[in-house]
Structure 1
Amino acid sequence: MSDISASWRRGLGRMTSILLAAALGAVAPGVAATAAGAHPPASTPYSFDNVKIGGTGFVTGIVFSQARKDLAYARTDVGGMYRWNGATGTWKPLLDWVDWDHWGYMGVAGVAASPSDAGRVWAAVGMYTNGVDPYNGAILRSRDRGDSWQATELPFPLGGNMSGRGMGERLAVDPADDKVLYLGAPSGNGLWRSTDGGARWSRVTSFPHTGDNPQTTGTAEDPGLVWVAFDRNTGRHGNTTKTIYVGVADPDDPVYRSTDGGTTWSPLAGAPTGYFPHRGVVDPVNHLLYVTTADNIGPFGGGKGDVWKYASTPGTWTQISPVPSSSGDNYFGYSGLTVDRNDPDTIMVGSQVSWWPDGVIWRSTDGGGTWSRIWDWDAWPNRKLRYTVDSSPNPWMTMGRQDEPPLYAPNIGQVISALEIDPFDSDRLLFNGGPGIAGTTNLTAWDAGDTFTITPMVDGLEEGAVQGLIKPPGGPLLSAMGDVGGFRHDDLDAAPDTIFTNPIFHTTRSIDFAERNPRVIVRAGDFNDADRPGDSHAAFSTDGGATWFQGTEPNGVNSGGSIAASADGSRFVWAPGDSGQPVVQSVGFGTSWTPATGVPANAMVIADRVDPMRFYAYDNGTVYVSTDGGASFTASAATGLPATNWGVRLKAVPGHAGQLWVAGGASWTSYGLWRSTDSGATFQRVSTVDTADNVGFGKAAPGRSYPALYVAAQVHGQRGVFRSDDAGRSWVRINDDRHRYGGLPEALTGDPDVYGRVYLSGYGRGIVYGDPARR
């Protein structure tokens, strides 16, 4: 840890304003600087782009600018923040500069956009409140729509990926004076205010509720104060807005109000109790507050809720639920909420969570007096849909399914927590459905009884959680993915036609290919056994991942673990992920599995890339070697490797029998990069690297025979992604401070066919690939 990083940690309770490296390339607190006396590693320019998938992650909030047409922002739970250009229909990532130390900034807990200055935008960032992230949260502020940022550290963490992350918006800017902002804090930290545009923050001591509630008090899952909403017609430009509402995740005390610009606060009389207030939106024309509620903070739990309308004059609450919680037909609760700025009598709400048969959206054009539903039941098992889906931009979003009424492919989405009508265009709607964000441009056809078209709107928004990447020689790029299983990419610039099927995994944990027979692919992953009894958690392909088949599996397997294919594709070794499951091997494609001997359960397994009978396993600092095709293993005498499985990668070198590399470790154990040239009998630490988190191999440089090495590492005090063309003797940094993607790549590999090309996963940023920049 550098001195700068240490001082950042020591200053967690101190609020500071820092200029981030994204803007000027300066070193910010917490960003590892070059160690004193060390020479920074050389660098070479690269260009980076996403392998196109589109979405796949959870978008937690959508905020339209009210100052400029065709401008909106999306926040995600682990993939950062994006800016939308409505004219082109594309999204631009805004937080790719986030470094290794501040990976938690990729979790965005709130977004606010100035209603008077289109350039000004703010983000509340921080991923966890449960101690996983050692840093506190921060408020980012920008004057150029997020192209550059300044940050103010907060004295508490934020939970962009915690329960309740679909509620909001907890960060809000005063429409009468955009120097004034409010932040609803989680975990009992109350209400905070800035009066200088977000540079300095202080707690609003007059706010009487800390945010604690009886159901979550004292836990990391306490979302606290979850939304702030202004009645903009109670303020004049240059003066603060007088009427402000705050939603508290306390079913017994859910809504507070100030009528004097935030000086004093009191519970809003008659506010509905019993449920959590997910979102609050004000219709400033009629001075109405709309609130959606559910019996769970979400985003993935809950089953009851209501929609309410509060009229400030005469101060009355009216329940306007499309399906009231008292009805036996209410099994979803409500979360997403929007008011049409051009016609404030038009409001829409979305189901908090509706797993079956699909999510639900309702629309009212009379302020909630009557509602129409995006789909209704027809003669069983059919449903009548008010919409059609054009999935051609992202054909994989059918998730490998065909229509089987009442289930239709693709879904519109089960958790509709972000739902926004464009303030400049009543026909345009964005919501967090489909592959991440879906929407329509002919929304008002709904009111005429006509069908409208929903399509994915995720061009440029890449939030996939990548578990592994392989690039067989001469073949496509194949990915192991969370939530969507994985993809085969024949074209890096086109979304694939389908996810991996037969079987479909919710998450693919491991993927491998036979180095000498690269059309043979194997993958292992997770799914709910009750959904597909008889399916295996391992699948095979003999055509490079175009089609798949499955064999048998050992009893008791429920999760994928790690799996490896021999160099010639004739046998496989599998370490299922279930606790205590033994390592097993199969001759052929999983027709039967035999327990291996001499290797611990749940060890990480890989194959030698040349010798088809040689496999390796890693467990807590010990390497195990098999020379009989995985039937038996023997522990190596090698020492000095990280005595943990956490964050450790063991990889074998293509074209070089018996050559292994180990990257990873942790601060409480050894942590670095090691190389073996004798099948794991001994390992030598690579002295040119301080610490390393991942390693991969690609096509050798011209005139060289050893593969190009790629590492995510710290070299001479500088963190980044590096390439070595001489087996690790020297390194060049290939990323820059604008392309750090939250630091640690879960997946990293080079291209065996294109020298210099590297594939990696950003922190929740999908698959990124880089090529040497053309000079």
Structure 2
Amino acid sequence: MRPFHALLLLLAAAPIEAAFSWANVVTGGGGGFIPSIVFHPKTQGVAYARADIGGLYKLNSDDSWTPITDGITQDATWHNWGADALALDPQNSDVVYAALGMYTNSWDPNNGCIAKSTNQGSTWTFSNLTFKVGGNMPGRGTGERLAVDPANSNIIYFGARSGHGLWRSTDGGATFSNVTSFTNTGSYRQTPSDTSGYGSDIMGLLFVTFDSTSSTINGATSRIFVGVADNITASVYESTDAGTTWKPLAGQPAAFFPHKCRLQSTEKALYLTYSNGIGPYDGTSGSVWRYDLTTSAWKDITPVSGSNLYFGFGGIGVDMLKPGYLVVAALNSWWPNAQIYRSNNSGSTWTPIWEWSSYPAMNNYYSLSTPNAPWIVPGFWDVTNDEDLGWMIESLEIDPFDSNHWLYGTGLTVMGGHDLTNWDTIHNVSLSTLAKGIEEMAVTTLVSVPGGSELLVAVGDDSGFTYLSSSSLGTPPSTNWLNPGFTTSTDVDYAGLAVADVVRSGNSAGTQQLAVSSNGGGTWSIDYGASTSEYGGTLAYSASGDTVVWSTASQGVLRSQYTGSFASVTGLPATAIIASDKQNDNYFYGGYASTFYVSSNNGQTFAAGGTLSGATQVNDVIVHPKIAGEVYVSTNAGIYLSTNFGSSFTLLTSALTNVYHIALGVGSGSTWNLYAFGTGSAGNKLYGSADNGNTWTDIQGTQGFGSIAGCSLAGSGNVAGQVYVGTNGRGVFYAQGTITGSSSGGSTTTSSSVSTHASSSTTSRASSSTITTTPTTLKTSTHSSTASSSTSTATCTASHYSQCGGLTYTGCTQCATGYTCVFSNSYYSQCL
């Protein structure tokens, strides 16, 4: 996410706050990377997980999870959803610490903090740091970088990034000071040439591990180990005098970076995983080692060698009840599956979770189920050459109170089970996805269709979802958006007079990145009118469903009618925001910089429309679902309304400024509510109006949505007072309530059934397929460009969130103005 922080403007009027109670729309599968899971070492049933962009979660007794950082992620504190480290107090199971912050480069303007909760995440206090923390930076799966002294709850250590070294608190996390005697602050940079600072930042320190079996000095544990991203000098350091002095461990492995360091106290041994990459995407070789704390002897216990060793190692779990029993995971065995190994003799020998029988046949020593997220089966497990067991496995843990209970985090979900010891007898375990309650998806667009599908949700990495009715919002969909399945769906739109007709776009060059549906997003087919070089951006579907206008990331603004080939439109700048009139087939609208554009000939040509006096930046354009020619435009100066197809505009109110995404949804009676993310009397928040912008109510309350500039927004087209918010890392939230107002907007009511109506005078683009599935919905919100106006000539620029580089990639490498091409891994760079 690229942060956009607006100046906070406080108005004299006190905010009105409605009693909206927010809940997640359920996918049940997590949807993103879980770098770490931590069990409390002394209290059964207490465990937490951290997400790279979705905050912290607490494990419940029924294998579900509860988010515990939503309340500390308002607009000004959006980066608190980035969690780079997690620590529990061994002496007090109510105490939780986390190192919070999203990026160490310019994308995050704020320094990080160490957050502390004394009530398992119900409330938090903060110790502000003088440098940044990178919860979504390279190497975020190593660790933990944060640790509490098991002999003294007042002592906490934190290993920083960016060359800031080792830090220590002696007052229970209230303050931290630099440990100046620890001098190796790390020198490794994943991508030194990355000018954005993302891949070129110094990786720094990787973990802090206390030896709880060692003696104490002045009440502090004497022996401490620290990992450093240094594959040249030394990577593991030791203190035997409670942190006063430090030295590298003698005889330690060279060349690789340590990822995890686990203490098995009964064995008096450390187990460490190594990779030649810092993670979470890379690593083509690695090793696993055991360090004897009594003899100071190192032993190479790497499970495989030779041609079978084509990956590094990440997560490692040690059984605290059965010394010598452990599991270790390949960090990224990208083909044909992830690999996990089990040892019952301290790593002397291992058995795999799968092996080749007679290539290409495999013996799988596990069963798989995903009752919490059935869409993972068709979306991932049934896909050829996809990894059933996961990828990016940086955390692999065995419950210290139950040898059968194990969990591990992947790039998609949390997996695990309750029969791990079966591996030692019948060599077969039962695995399930166990991420219920974790909603970590980055949402690009939301749409609620009046008289059609209740919610369409476009997301990054997992394509998208359709929820046909409001009653399905709490049920995980049976499938994500497939056939075609885009890695990331950038936008989705519907035809106002044929609401079952839906179109969506994807973000990868090389195949057609446009899909259509004739059953509200239940099933899809490829729109072959698109070429293989057009991708990304935003969409506008004509009222009757015969025409698509596509503001692409790669070829400028294009138009196609009757499923024909796309051609450039005239008069609209590349990357412009676009929208279609939902009742009049002739009209499309656009916005770029401070100019509003109108097409009255079905999107063929555009010309400047009414003036937005006082505004310098168009952020969003929406159209009333039931009233032709009624157009709303959000800008830095507020919200403007046109009732004459964009010919002229009126500023609705000055009470809301710096307005980003806006949405209309059915209100009480026959009215429509207007929703907006902007700056008002309660600060930078989500507001609702029942009187067409005359008065505004804070409907967000204490719920955190992160940066309001990065959120998508939709009002329900079918359920009175229901509103949806898509976040960059916490999935979709929804709430229902009543907003009072003095006057009404439009007055057309809607029904909840999916219409199959199509205009009699035009031909719909949508597929006529009648295959039925349980769909999921998503919708990507439009974004604003900060560039100056340009011509409509197609230029090869990638839009926000689109791919812009990587091995084998042949698309656009220049990002739209205001965004930077950011290296993620060798195969993928993205505009952020």
| Matched AA of 2:517 | S
Task: Specify the SS of the correspondent of 2:375.
Answer: helix
Task: Say if 2:280 and 2:331, in contact at 8 Å, map to a contact too.
Answer: yes
Task: Say if 2:276 and 2:285, in contact at 8 Å, map to a contact too.
Answer: yes
Task: Specify the SS of the correspondent of 1:281.
Answer: strand
Task: Specify the SS of the correspondent of 1:445.
Answer: helix
For the pair 1:244 / 2:216, whether they are aligned, the reply is: no
Residue in structure 2 matched with residue 336 of structure 1 by the alignment: 315
TM-score normalised by L of structure 1: 0.89
Residue in structure 1 matched with residue 621 of structure 2 by the alignment: 650
Q: What's the Cα RMSD here?
A: 2.4
- Please list every run of 5 or more consecutive structure 2 residues that lacks an aligned counterpart in the other structure: 740-832
Please give the alpha-carbon distance, in whole angstroms, between the structure 2 residues aligned to 1:280 and 1:585.
Answer: 56
Please give the alpha-carbon distance, in whole angstroms, between the structure 2 residues aligned to 1:342 and 1:505.
Answer: 45
State which of 537, 540, 550 in structure 1 corresponds to 2:526: 550
How far the C-alpha of 1:118 sits from its partner, in A, is: 1.0
Task: Specify the SS of the correspondent of 2:21.
Answer: strand
For the pair 1:53 / 2:13, whether they are aligned, the reply is: no
- Residues 444 and 757 from structure 1, CA distance in 2 versus in 1: closer, same or farther, beyond 3 angstroms? same
Please give the alpha-carbon distance, in whole angstroms, between the structure 1 residues aligned to 2:161 and 2:98.
Answer: 15
1:644-692 CA-partner distances (Å, limit 9, x unpaired) = 67xx22211222222222235xxxxx45433333333333443120322
For the pair 1:395 / 2:374, whether they are aligned, the reply is: yes
| Matched AA of 2:582 | R
- Please list every run of 5 or more consecutive structure 1 residues that lacks an aligned counterpart in the other structure: 1-29, 530-534, 665-669
State which of 564, 587, 595 in structure 1 corresponds to 2:540: 564
| Matched AA of 1:560 | G
Please give the alpha-carbon distance, in whole angstroms, between the structure 2 residues aligned to 1:723 and 1:403.
Answer: 42
How far the C-alpha of 1:214 sits from its partner, in A, is: 6.8
1:149-208 CA-partner distances (Å, limit 9, x unpaired) = 000110000000001111110011111111111000000000000111111100001112
Task: Say if 1:32 and 1:718, in contact at 8 Å, map to a contact too.
Answer: no
Task: Say if 2:64 and 2:437, in contact at 8 Å, map to a contact too.
Answer: no
For the pair 1:619 / 2:585, whether they are aligned, the reply is: no
Residue in structure 1 matched with residue 336 of structure 2 by the alignment: 357
Residue in structure 1 matched with residue 174 of structure 2 by the alignment: 199
Task: Say if 1:103 and 1:763, in contact at 8 Å, map to a contact too.
Answer: no
For the pair 1:294 / 2:272, whether they are aligned, the reply is: no
Task: Specify the SS of the correspondent of 2:336.
Answer: coil
Please give the alpha-carbon distance, in whole angstroms, between the structure 1 residues aligned to 2:573 and 2:709.
Answer: 27
- 1:151-300 aligned at under 5 Å gives the runs 151-213=126-188, 220-235=200-215, 239-252=219-232, 253-300=234-281
State which of 578, 581, 585 in structure 2 corresponds to 1:605: 578
- Residues 442 and 680 from structure 1, CA distance in 2 versus in 1: closer, same or farther, beyond 3 angstroms? same
Residue in structure 1 matched with residue 101 of structure 2 by the alignment: 126
Identity of aligned residues (%): 36
Residue in structure 1 matched with residue 290 of structure 2 by the alignment: 309
- Residues 641 and 568 from structure 1, CA distance in 2 versus in 1: closer, same or farther, beyond 3 angstroms? farther
- 1:462-481 aligned at under 5 Å gives the runs 462-476=439-453, 477-481=455-459
Task: Say which is worse superposed, 756-765 or 47-56, in terms of deviation.
Answer: 756-765
- Residues 131 and 394 from structure 1, CA distance in 2 versus in 1: closer, same or farther, beyond 3 angstroms? same
How far the C-alpha of 1:619 sits from its partner, in A, is: 2.3
Please give the alpha-carbon distance, in whole angstroms, between the structure 1 residues aligned to 2:245 and 2:627.
Answer: 72
Residue in structure 2 matched with residue 381 of structure 1 by the alignment: 360
- Residues 390 and 641 from structure 1, CA distance in 2 versus in 1: closer, same or farther, beyond 3 angstroms? farther
- Count of residues paired in the alignment: 725
Task: Say if 1:125 and 1:158, in contact at 8 Å, map to a contact too.
Answer: yes
Task: Specify the SS of the correspondent of 1:42.
Answer: coil
For the pair 1:148 / 2:123, whether they are aligned, the reply is: yes
- Residues 129 and 446 from structure 1, CA distance in 2 versus in 1: closer, same or farther, beyond 3 angstroms? same
Please give the alpha-carbon distance, in whole angstroms, between the structure 1 residues aligned to 2:707 and 2:45.
Answer: 28
Please give the alpha-carbon distance, in whole angstroms, between the structure 1 residues aligned to 2:413 and 2:133.
Answer: 22
Please give the alpha-carbon distance, in whole angstroms, between the structure 1 residues aligned to 2:139 and 2:129.
Answer: 20
For the pair 1:485 / 2:485, whether they are aligned, the reply is: no
Please give the alpha-carbon distance, in whole angstroms, between the structure 2 residues aligned to 1:352 and 1:488.
Answer: 32
Please give the alpha-carbon distance, in whole angstroms, between the structure 2 residues aligned to 1:461 and 1:215.
Answer: 29
How far the C-alpha of 1:130 sits from its partner, in A, is: 0.9
TM-score normalised by L of structure 2: 0.83
| Matched AA of 1:379 | S
State which of 538, 555, 562 in structure 1 corresponds to 2:514: 538
How far the C-alpha of 1:594 sits from its partner, in A, is: 2.9
Please give the alpha-carbon distance, in whole angstroms, between the structure 2 residues aligned to 1:88 and 1:506.
Answer: 28
Residue in structure 1 matched with residue 404 of structure 2 by the alignment: 427
Task: Specify the SS of the correspondent of 1:308.
Answer: strand
Please give the alpha-carbon distance, in whole angstroms, between the structure 2 residues aligned to 1:449 and 1:238.
Answer: 49
| Matched AA of 1:485 | S
State which of 688, 701, 721 in structure 1 corresponds to 2:668: 701
Task: Say if 2:509 and 2:533, in contact at 8 Å, map to a contact too.
Answer: no
| Matched AA of 1:241 | T
Task: Specify the SS of the correspondent of 2:174.
Answer: coil
1:203-249 CA-partner distances (Å, limit 9, x unpaired) = 00111212233766797532210100111111469821111100001
How far the C-alpha of 1:627 sits from its partner, in A, is: 1.1
How far the C-alpha of 1:742 sits from its partner, in A, is: 5.2
1:418-459 CA-partner distances (Å, limit 9, x unpaired) = 111111111011111374111111111111134211111111
State which of 413, 428, 431 in structure 2 corresponds to 1:436: 413
1:373-398 CA-partner distances (Å, limit 9, x unpaired) = 11111222221111110122211012
1:247-271 CA-partner distances (Å, limit 9, x unpaired) = 0011122110001111111111122
Residue in structure 2 matched with residue 62 of structure 1 by the alignment: 37
For the pair 1:411 / 2:382, whether they are aligned, the reply is: no
Please give the alpha-carbon distance, in whole angstroms, between the structure 2 residues aligned to 1:472 and 1:215.
Answer: 45
Residue in structure 2 matched with residue 72 of structure 1 by the alignment: 47
Task: Say which is worse superposed, 396-405 or 369-378, in terms of deviation.
Answer: 396-405
How far the C-alpha of 1:560 sits from its partner, in A, is: 2.1
Task: Say if 2:660 and 2:708, in contact at 8 Å, map to a contact too.
Answer: no
Task: Specify the SS of the correspondent of 1:232.
Answer: coil
